[in-house]
Structure 1
Amino acid sequence: MKHFKQFLKNKFPFVIKLKYIFRAIFLGTTLKYVEVHIVDHCNLKCNGCTHFSNISEPKFSDARILHFHLGRLNEIFGKIDKVRLLGGEPLLHPDIINILNISRDALPYSEIELITNGLLLDKMPEEFFRTLHKNKISVEVSNYMPIQNKIKQIQEMLSLFKIKHSITPMVMAFTANLNPKGTNDRENTFKNCRHKICTILKDDCIYICPICAYIDKYNKYFNKNIPLPKGINIHSNSAKQILEYLKKSVETCKYCTNDSNYINWTCSNNPKETDWNGKTN
């Protein structure tokens, strides 16, 4: 039976697509987008990083555990439209090639994209690029100032291995949205939040946004106590329960504001609490 199913997938891939279309229509269980940290820390220290990578201690995803979690998401949703592998800087991961392989194995029908600042691309082995191509994983390069003299080389390198890629517009500023006093209306903040589309898978839980997922790093670094939501466990909840969770605000939303401060992009080894502060009354 297993071989027969594989034969159908290879011979008639459109049947698989129809399965997901019907599942989405009748069960209402479509997850369009999710982000996954491969590495928490980064080789750039961008002030006000929304993922708090500049103040994160080194942490690498375990390939076996990641495969387990991604496989569970694929099982309950049938397909996730787009999955972005990021961080932090994912190319810091010592087992990045295996991570790429297990991601595609767990998510055979999803669009997978690797997000990198590009600083390490010219140091990656040929196997890395061949693995990207084999698994049809695209690359998005965040265009920060330090790679300005590398962009042409990066594009040529990725094109050589026929890897779908894009270079973002040059990053000139970050948005800062925290309100450490927690005086914002959580429902209004959630309703108008620009980050809630950035669903995060962290360990075995789904979170609304990167701030909700990683505010514990800010708390630890600056000795604060902004509430860290529990997230929703992907192994003990259904697809519908997860989607319902993502429609609702959490306590952490009181500590954000929709009135952003825009801070010029810069790197620093001396981060300050105010690097993340939005405008508050």
Structure 2
Amino acid sequence: MEVDKNRIRFIVDIVDHCNLNCKGCGHFSPLASKYFLDIKTFENDLCRLNELLRGKIFCLEIMGGEALLHPQLEDFIKITAKYVQGEKNLCTNGILLANLSDKIYKLCAETNTTICITMYPIDLDWSEIYRKANLYGTKLYKIKSIGDSKKKWFKNPKDRNGLQNVEENFNSCFWKARCVVLEKGRLSSCVVPFKAKFFQKYFKSAIFDTTERNSIDIYKAQNIDEIVDFLNRPIPCCKYCFPNKEKQVMWEVSKREINEWI
């Protein structure tokens, strides 16, 4: 599967840290410091994407970390609706949903923003979540099925030596064209080049290539075709992956041990 300029699914982490901190988190959130994306940076980037795509952004997902932790969440939803005519998703682990203000539920309904809930094996106040969603007509979407306290999860192991074939890895990667990551004016086909810095800092490690060779500057690109061409080619960070070889593990909160990722 290749990136199609008319069907790009952009994801943006507006928060790096999380209130759940899953073992082996793909965004390295348990290792991240508290950080909130600047609203002006977000709007500038969406404005540029809107320009490149001539007003036809297919999909944008507001993610984290835990997106609901951002104190300006309302503004992010409004700005997304301003520039994105297509699918708009607000992704969450659900912990804060029961106490989330009615104002946000109403705003999501008015902007046709779907609240997407990843179904971790944790207890949520579903009666209150459904009450608020039904009150305003807010769309909810559950990602994965509800499990018990011993729910199985997945670990995406990495090659700490970076000896994997980048071409083969890229060609067989399930995610390469499904989640295009936007971070501060740059796009990548993978989240690792942007987020592995947390791993490097926490474990004082040089593992992972987090250089700008893994991403493209949306302000320097001449057009969307140049960006799509970049996204459809392997990046240096591909050498650390074992694509489609996830290991099934028991879900649990991270202990911040290096073997959760390696």
- Tell me the TM-score normalised to structure 1 length: 0.83
Q: State yes or no: 1:275 paired with 2:243.
A: no
- SS in structure 1 opposite 2:242? strand
Q: Which residue of 1 aligns with 2:210?
A: 228
- Cα deviation per residue 1:44-70 (whole Å; 9 max; x = unaligned)? 110000011111111111112201101
Q: Which residue of 1 aligns with 2:162?
A: 182
Give the distance between the partners of 1:241 and 1:232, measured in 2 at CA.
9
Consecutive unaligned residues of structure 1, counting only runs of 5 or more, are 1-27
Residue identity over aligned pairs, in percent, reads 26
Q: State yes or no: 1:162 paired with 2:146.
A: no
Amino acid in the other structure paired with 2:112: K
Q: Which residue of 1 aligns with 2:153?
A: 173
State whether residues 176 and 262 of structure 1, in contact with CA within 8 Å, keep that contact through their aligned partners in structure 2. no
C-alpha deviation, 1:31, in angstroms: 4.3
- SS in structure 2 opposite 1:190? helix
C-alpha deviation, 1:34, in angstroms: 0.9
State whether residues 229 and 250 of structure 1, in contact with CA within 8 Å, keep that contact through their aligned partners in structure 2. no
Give the distance between the partners of 2:75 and 2:253, measured in 1 at CA.
30
Q: Which residue of 2 aligns with 1:214?
A: 195
Consecutive unaligned residues of structure 2, counting only runs of 5 or more, are none
Figure out how many residues of one structure are paired with residues of the other and give that number: 247
Q: State yes or no: 1:100 paired with 2:77.
A: yes
C-alpha deviation, 1:195, in angstroms: 2.5
* 1:111 equivalent among 84, 87, 92: 87
C-alpha deviation, 1:190, in angstroms: 0.8
Amino acid in the other structure paired with 1:30: N
State whether residues 31 and 77 of structure 1, in contact with CA within 8 Å, keep that contact through their aligned partners in structure 2. no
Runs of 4+ in 1 over 4 A off after TM superposition: none
Q: State yes or no: 1:84 paired with 2:61.
A: yes
- Cα deviation per residue 1:139-176 (whole Å; 9 max; x = unaligned)? 111111223x4234322321221011112213630231
Q: Which residue of 1 aligns with 2:108?
A: 132
Give the distance between the partners of 2:10 and 2:119, measured in 1 at CA.
22
State whether residues 114 and 139 of structure 1, in contact with CA within 8 Å, keep that contact through their aligned partners in structure 2. yes
State whether residues 49 and 174 of structure 1, in contact with CA within 8 Å, keep that contact through their aligned partners in structure 2. no
CA RMSD of aligned residues (A): 1.5
The 5 A counterparts of 1:17-28 are none
Give the distance between the partners of 1:234 and 1:182, measured in 2 at CA.
28
State whether residues 57 and 83 of structure 2, in contact with CA within 8 Å, keep that contact through their aligned partners in structure 1. no
Report 1 or 2 for greater relative contact order, CA contacts < 8 Å, sequence distance ≥ 6. Answer: 2
Q: Which residue of 2 aligns with 1:262?
A: 248
Amino acid in the other structure paired with 2:259: T
Give the distance between the partners of 2:218 and 2:258, measured in 1 at CA.
32
Q: State yes or no: 1:151 paired with 2:132.
A: no
Give the distance between the partners of 1:170 and 1:229, measured in 2 at CA.
38
Give the distance between the partners of 1:204 and 1:214, measured in 2 at CA.
15
Larger Rg: 1
Q: Which residue of 1 aligns with 2:185?
A: 204
Give the distance between the partners of 2:16 and 2:188, measured in 1 at CA.
16
- Cα deviation per residue 1:80-104 (whole Å; 9 max; x = unaligned)? 2111111010110011111111111
